[in-house]
Structure 1
Amino acid sequence: MGGPVGRSSTRGERTRSRVRRDDRPDDRPGWAEAPGRRSGARNGPPVEGDGGRGSARRAPRSGKRRVLRWSATLLALLILGTGGAGYLYYEYLNGNIRKEDLTLGDKRMADHKANAAGQTPLNILLIGSDARDSEANQKLGGAKETFGAPPLADVQMLLHLSADRSNLSVISMPRDTMLKMPKCTAPDGEIFPASRRDVQTNESLGRGGPGCTVATWYELTGIRVDHFMMIDFAGVVSMADAIGGVPVCVDANIHSRGADGKGSGLKLEKGTTSVKGEQALQWLRTRYGFEDNTDLGRAKAQHQYMNSMVRELRKGTKLTDPAKLMNLAEAATAALTVDKGLDTVKKLYDLAEEFKKVPTKRITMSTMPNVYGTGVNNGRVYPKAGDAEQLFRMVRDDVPLDGKPSKRKAVEPKDPSAPVGEIAVTVRNATGTGTRGPASGRAGHVADQLKEAGFGKTGVDPDNVTGAARTGILYPSTDLEGDAQAVAKALGIPLSQVKKSTDVSGISLAVGADWREDGAYPVSPGKQKTPESAGALNGEEEGACMKVNPAYTW
């Protein structure tokens, strides 16, 4: 657990397809598996909240001790199944932190909407790189044939901290998710064109760096990403050692090692075991042995580990030794890559201050709802129609995934709405996708709905049919914000999909691919519910236990 570990370098590397083929059951061991596929994750910080030890009478804590405690808890939250950034308490560690551009895509991410108190949500993408770019990472990752190859983003988790800081939602995206990649321009100027076919999401990291993974998330979900944190294998091990044991549970004896050599090597007896160090890394990488031997089971195991770690840290019994925290900080900062908005100890500490406000019982882990592909993409996964967009919409709208109310209040526009009969609206058909043409007559149908609601100055743009994944309303200036929101309310479109834009000269409504069918807009505001297919797990659920695949028991 001593000195610094190697970093994952992504600049200037040319992408090279390493998507698993059917004749290569598990191309590279990574976070995913030792001799299987990889699923790494560099990530970051923890949270402090409702925990703490001591009696009603306690001596005042020093400022440094408070930093240690707060940092330890945020570090837990940001680890999310892959390792973490120790809390960077001393300025000299700033130089250890590797910085990259937040996004390499050519689309500007939409701004957050503030709530009535002026607060905005915070979204952090945690990325697990499986790079074999250092001796430590090569030893832990194995797969000599992959040494020096472009890294894969084998673990991707989005942390959503609500605007009022009352709750935290997490979405994991399986690394086998097939999607379209956006155009990305690497820091050295190399251009990676947008993909014309579906590509496995973990390849985004090799398209210029973590900023392309951020751009890919935004392209798919429409969720603004404020920061990213990326970490490698060695960072996970050093973090897990510094934290100490984290209880995990299996419903049968497990040995993740098949006759063909596939598996992480994890070997545990039935029941609860406290794991740390390399054993914790094995748990987080295990694919063969959990449930159906896919990324979906591994994501559940990562969520169980994460929640358990947060509970342990909030008991106040972990990471109270300054020497351990110093070792952790040295190792983690050497392995950590962040965006340029999180490049100092002060910024990371401020982030810790925000995360420590969330109680454990308001943490919800989830996985992007998905379905398996067929044919040449058999075994890969795709976002599940309806359910995946529902989950993304809830995060965009800052709706808690645990179903409990937050302190959110509706945001009143700065400029009130004009009478609906005086509001001019242009509607266009943007329902086309990469595989389907525009749905016939959609712009006219929605325009008719607006006219029936009293918007007499509604017209249709018959020429602009550029596709959009989500229905949206754009307005050019603040004085039209109230009018644009009135249009959204009349159609049941969430206000988070109403944006200010200099690309339009008046109020423009794009009917997106999420509204190809006639009738009301698919989801009414205020009635959103986390889909069962997201597999939500609450932070206080101590009874979670991984189901062992019978082929990997002993």
Structure 2
Amino acid sequence: MTHSSVHGEGTRRGVRRASGAGQEGGRRGDDGDGSGRPSSGGGHGGRRGRRRQARRRHRVLRWSATALAVLILGTAGAGYLYYQHLNGNIEKGRRSNADSKARKTEPNAAGQTPLNILLIGSDSRKSDANVSLGGGRDNRDNPPLADVQMLIHLSADRKSAAVVSIPRDTRVDIPACKDPDSDETYPATNEIINTTLGRGGAGCTLATWENLTGIYIDHWMTIDFAGVVSMADAIGGVEVCVNQNVWDRARPNVPGGSGLKMTAGRKKVKGKQALEWLRTRHAWGSDPLRARAQHMYMNSMIRTLKSQNVFTDGGRLMNLAEAATNSLTVSEELGTVKKLYDLGMQLKTVPTDRITMTTMPTVEDNENANHLLPAGADAEKMWAMLRDDVPFDDKGAKADAKPASPASTASAGRTTDDPAAADDEIGVLVQNATRSATLGPVSGRARDIARELVGNGFTQATTDTSAALAEERTLVRYPSAELAGDAQAVAKSLGIPAGSVRKSADVSGVTVVVGADWRSGTAYPKQKTPQAGDLPSNSDAINGSDTGQCMDVYEPYQW
């Protein structure tokens, strides 16, 4: 028995060695764990069956893991390729094609900055699709016009948003612009704002807005006729409303018309009909009323998108992504899917009742009854609210109703530790910029303010004798950090707020620019700080949650 036991142990050791070399079936004394203990299942066949099942389970797990790895890698690869495909869809252009006096907003006390995006609707007919949708085949080679222009302002705290339209026939100062493709330079001019797109592209439109408003605009986006149709289809329709049957068509002595034909009431428009709604002007009665119809459409579109859970619907999301990336041309720093997605997520956080759509207040142009001009103080009040990041609505908390930091301060007007030189050592140039869109210049203003500065001890103050400039708001500009203290000392002596002191590459020394807001007197007039919701009455404001809006139809276009 002892010998038998020893022999059995030796046999088991041999079996383990053979098994290790790949020989199977010799491990009859083992139950699979190599312990040599008897199997609880009885005979040798049961033990072999369990060993085969274990090996099969191992092979299945190994193949499952391999298949999963291939699936993950394949999906990731497809996702990457699709991401690259979407990126390839996006057309891009230079952010600005002209000199601008606007400076990027500094962060507020919480480290937040507002975001400004210029949305431009182009009437370009360069493609067959745009010709078929917009007509005007004979105008195919004409420069595009920026017939829709809206500034979207997202507050620094991302709790509210404001949209301001400028009607396309508004006459403004347009700076010299350079076409980024042809390098052709277009001289500065005073013309209606929709011509800016054909004078160097969207970057020229952006620079015009910045010079008009004093607001730094971070990005632009353009969309053409075909893009509007594509986006409207991808969204699935947007509800609009008319109080009377409407047919916007050509009439005697009134050519054109969008072709929009609808019965009274509420209806979802998509595709070509959505484009017709956005292009309609005659049937509403004026260009500002066309802006109102566009605002109603945008508010309805935002409410529609918020109600659709597209981020859990892969097919819908892909359709929207394809439509958006194929429809939009954007400024180059915004030209990736990720950046567009991040922008969308920021806009998504704003509740609809904190979105306010407005139109810049205008007056009739005394040189051309078909054109408009910015309405002086009312228009400037809106721009001041945006510069100061003051909400257009009054629905926020009291803390939201106060500007986090004055806009001008954000534009480089903060107090500085740079010490000022002695007053009589500071060179100051004074410019007369009292001309505005609606008022002519006041003669002698630069001379009067220079004399006041000399009387205050700034004996090196002189006047700029060049042609009168145009600036809605009085500013003190300086070229470099070492002159910041000097500029602030000059501003303080005249009562100009520190927020109106700005660093600027357009000047070579401390320069006082006497704007249209200071047309008389030698002490800068006190400026009222705008409050939340304190919009001019002629801004035609519409709240984003207002579902009761409905357009009236001008009688000749009713049917």
* Length-normalised TM-score, structure 2: 0.74
In the aligned structure 2, how far is the partner of 1:437 from the partner of 1:267?
Answer: 44
Q: CA deviation at 1:423?
A: 10
1:543 aligned residue: 548
Q: Is the 8 A contact 2:390 2:530 kept in 1?
A: no
Any residues of structure 2 matched to 1:396-545 within 5 Å, and which? 396-403=387-394, 405-406=401-402, 408-409=404-405, 413-415=415-417, 426=428, 428-431=430-433, 433=435, 439-443=442-446, 445-446=448-449, 456-457=457-458, 460-463=461-464, 465=466, 467-469=469-471, 470-478=473-481, 481=484, 484-485=487-488, 488=491, 493=496, 495-501=498-504, 507-518=510-521, 521=524, 524-527=527-530, 529-545=534-550
| 2:442 aligned partner, one-letter code | A
Distance 1:406 1:268, change over 3 A: farther
Distance 1:490 1:351, change over 3 A: farther
1:162 aligned residue: 155
In the aligned structure 1, how far is the partner of 2:124 from the partner of 2:508?
Answer: 47
Distance 1:188 1:476, change over 3 A: closer
Q: Is the 8 A contact 2:424 2:459 kept in 1?
A: no
Q: CA deviation at 1:433?
A: 4.2
Match of 1:385 among 376, 383, 405: 376
1:62 aligned residue: none
Say whether residues 1:351 and 2:343 are aligned partners: yes
In the aligned structure 2, how far is the partner of 1:316 from the partner of 1:285?
Answer: 26
Q: CA deviation at 1:478?
A: 4.1
Match of 2:112 among 111, 114, 119: 119
In the aligned structure 2, how far is the partner of 1:205 from the partner of 1:246?
Answer: 28
Say whether residues 1:269 and 2:263 are aligned partners: yes
Distance 1:242 1:520, change over 3 A: farther
In the aligned structure 2, how far is the partner of 1:506 from the partner of 1:151?
Answer: 39
Distance 1:161 1:485, change over 3 A: farther
Distance 1:218 1:250, change over 3 A: same
Q: CA deviation at 1:172?
A: 0.6
Q: CA deviation at 1:438?
A: 5.2
Q: Is the 8 A contact 1:104 1:186 kept in 2?
A: yes
Q: CA deviation at 1:389?
A: 2.1
Match of 1:176 among 160, 163, 169: 169
1:84 aligned residue: none
| 1:541 aligned partner, one-letter code | D
Q: CA deviation at 1:263?
A: 2.2
CA offset digits 1:15-61 (Å, max 9, x no partner): xxxxxxxxxxxxxxxxxxxxxxxxxxxxxxxxxxxxxxxxxxxxxxx
Of residues 317-326 and 140-149 in structure 1, the stretch that sits farther from structure 2 once superposed is 317-326
Q: Is the 8 A contact 1:164 1:406 kept in 2?
A: no
Say whether residues 1:305 and 2:297 are aligned partners: yes
1:25 aligned residue: none
Q: Is the 8 A contact 1:180 1:194 kept in 2?
A: no
Point out where structure 1 has 5 or more consecutive residues left out of the alignment: 1-87
Q: Is the 8 A contact 1:164 1:407 kept in 2?
A: no
Overall identity of the aligned pairs, in %: 51
Partner-residue secondary structure (3-state), 1:341: helix
Q: Is the 8 A contact 1:431 1:516 kept in 2?
A: no
Q: CA deviation at 1:409?
A: 4.3
If each structure's helix is expressed as a fraction of its own residues, which one has the higher value? Answer: 2
2:143 aligned residue: 150
In the aligned structure 2, how far is the partner of 1:259 from the partner of 1:443?
Answer: 52
Match of 1:227 among 219, 239, 246: 219
Partner-residue secondary structure (3-state), 1:461: strand
Partner-residue secondary structure (3-state), 1:212: helix
Any residues of structure 2 matched to 1:280-291 within 5 Å, and which? 280-290=274-284
Distance 1:474 1:383, change over 3 A: same
In the aligned structure 2, how far is the partner of 1:535 from the partner of 1:379?
Answer: 20
1:102 aligned residue: 95
Any residues of structure 2 matched to 1:297-336 within 5 Å, and which? 297-316=289-308, 321-336=313-328
In the aligned structure 2, how far is the partner of 1:548 from the partner of 1:181?
Answer: 34
2:59 aligned residue: none
C-alpha RMSD over aligned residues: 3.2
Q: CA deviation at 1:191?
A: 2.9
CA offset digits 1:191-227 (Å, max 9, x no partner): 333244x322111111121111112222322222211
Point out where structure 2 has 5 or more consecutive residues left out of the alignment: 1-80
1:8 aligned residue: none
Q: CA deviation at 1:468?
A: 4.2
